[in-house]
Amino acid sequence: MEITGIFSGLIVGIVIGALGRLVIPGRQRIPIWLTIVIGVVAALIGTAIATVLGVADTSGVDWIELGIQVALAALGVSLTAGTYGKRRT
């Protein structure tokens, strides 16, 4: 893997994680690094799901793939905030 691939993955993780965090109402008490990790994992799993469904490569913006990734990130942030918040308070 090249260094540009690592940076691209981090940027996508930041964006997907932030979008996933934004769609959940209320305050999530998890660190930003954990949000980025969740975003990277959600992007990878979301791409795999979109590929299986046959919607990963379309002409133009892959809105369905992006929606799957954001939904997975929101689910991950929600689950993590619920478990992380209970241990930290």
**11, 36 in Cβ contact below 8 A?**
no
* pLDDT for position 88: 54
Q: What is the mean pLDDT of residues 28-32?
A: 84
Q: How confident is the model at residue 20 (pLDDT cuts 50, 70, 90)?
A: confident
* pLDDT top residue among 7 and 44: 44
* pLDDT for position 86: 64
The whole-model pTM stands at: 0.80
Q: Is 24 exposed, middle or buried (CB count within 10 Å of its CB: 0-12, 13-18, 19+)?
A: middle
* Closest to 16 in 3D by CA, of 58, 75, 85: 75
